[in-house]
Amino acid sequence: MKRFISLVAMLTFLLSFSSAAMAEPIKVMVDSQYLSSTSSPTYINGRLMVPMRSIFEALNAKVTWYNGAVIASLGSTEVQLKPNENYAKVNGQKVIMAVPSTVINGVTLVPLRFVGEAMGADVDWLNNLQTVLITSKQFKEDKVRYKNYAEFRSMATAYETTKDKFTSLKEKYTQFAAIFDPVIKEIDPLIASKSISVKTPATTALGKLKNLEGLSSEIQSLSTSTNTLAPLKRPMNDLSTGLNGTLNQLAKDGVNSTTESGWTYMLEQKKKTEDLLVGTEQTIVGERAKILDYYSKYVK
């Protein structure tokens, strides 16, 4: 039992980071500046809703009320909408919104994507950073101001990709481990005691492991998706192939020096994989800190 790491303890450690991230309030950044608003973004019917007036004003639009409608003007663009309606008018053309605009505590909220559609701005939703990035065309044209922000934006979106891929990889590995952990716990003491009855359970275990083939392929694909996850590929592959290979040998020849050596190597790859999962999580947390540090030093 001491020969392999406790999966439960590992997952408790990993999931603690996800819980902490989800507890953060959602922030809005417009043209590199965090937005102060009397209303934070919120989810309504599965859509992220953001404060219209404060965002449009941060984009230098003029916002007024007329006959119960909100009117925002920026250059040649005029946006009109009424609270609780599922459409707006952009330069007189009707635009359907995913969910109706709404008013909460006197603040008009609109779907996040509508902001970009209405004002021609780029919109990035950074789920893991719980941050909305809104970038206007005018800001991108200011090469001096945009340079460091562009680097920050690139770092942040790359982080999002890595974190999402790693979250998927963790989920797949949890499914993977749910199948092979019971097999290891059954076979391990039989090898340790050099039991002559190992052939039958090894044969039965091989049947159970057929379900791992698809998961193993998915994990391999995810581990090659970013440089941060690449170190996981080799031990994961050696763990999967080593387990199958050694069980085949055990089913045929029983316990001998070759199967003992193969089993030991497989357990080493299991521990290495799980250590790397923890280490990769810490690396990703470090990448997050670097992004925020870069923003405070070079963008803010």
Residue % of the chain over a pLDDT of 90? 59
Beta partners for residue 131, in sequence order? 27, 126
Mean pLDDT of 42-47: 86
Judge whether residue 234 has pLDDT over 80: yes
Q: Which of 243, 61, 69 is nearest to 138 (CA)?
A: 61
Together in a domain, 80 and 176: no
- pTM here is 0.81
- Report yes or no on 151 lying in a domain: no
Same domain, yes or no: 280 and 168? yes
Q: Are residues 79 and 164 in the same domain?
A: no
The whole-chain average pLDDT of the chain stands at 87
Same domain, 171 and 276: yes
- The CATH number covering residue 176 comes to 1.20.120
User: Residue 84: left if φ>0, alpha if ψ -120 to 50, beta else—which one?
Assistant: left
Burial 122-144 (b: 16+ CB within 10 A, else e): ebbebebbebbbbbbeebeeeee
- Amino acid 23: pLDDT: 56
Mean pLDDT, rounded, for 33-49: 82
What residues make up the domain containing 230?
159-299
Residues with Cβ within 8 Å of residue 137, at least 6 apart in sequence: 120, 121
With respect to residue 62, please indicate whether it lies within any of the assigned structural domains. yes
70 plus 198 within the same structural domain: no
Does 20 reside within a domain? Answer: no
Residue 45 maps to which CATH number? 3.30.457.10
Provide the pLDDT confidence category of residue 126 given band limits of 50, 70 and 90. Answer: very high
Tell me the mean pLDDT in the region 64-84.
89
The answer to whether 269 and 242 are in contact (CB under 8 A) is: yes
Tokens 């090659």, located at residue: 224
Question: Would you state the structure tokens that stand for residue 123, as one six-digit string?
Answer: 């919109």
Give me the pLDDT at residue 7, please.
41
Determine the Cα–Cα distance for residues 239 and 235; give it in Å rounded to an integer. Answer: 6
Q: Is position 90 within any domain?
A: yes
Q: Which residue has the higher pLDDT, 25 or 184?
A: 184
What pLDDT band is residue 39 in, cutting at 50, 70 and 90?
low
What pLDDT sits at residue 37?
59
In a domain, 214, yes or no: yes
Check residue 66 and give its pLDDT.
87
**Are 74 and 121 in a shared domain?**
yes
Residue 154 lies in a domain: no
pLDDT 10s digits, 203-233: 999 988 887 888 889 999 999 999 999 999 9
Dmax (CA) for the chain in angstroms is 87
What is the distance between the alpha carbons of residues 273 and 232, in angstroms, rounded to a whole number? 6
Look-up of token digits 């417009």? 30
What's the structural domain count of the chain?
2
pLDDT at 8 over 70: no
Higher pLDDT, 1 or 44: 44
Lowest mean pLDDT among 74-88, 150-164, 268-282, 283-297: 74-88
Of 127, 150, 130, 128, nearest to 31 by C-alpha is 150
CA distance 266 to 269: 5
The DSSP line for 198-217 is -HHHHHHHHHHGGGHHHHHH
Residue ending a domain, among 141, 174, 197, is: 141
Residue 113 lies in a domain: yes
For residue 38, what pLDDT is reported? 61
Has residue 257 been placed in a domain? yes
Among the candidates 80, 112, 141, a domain finishes at: 141
166 and 288 in a common domain = yes
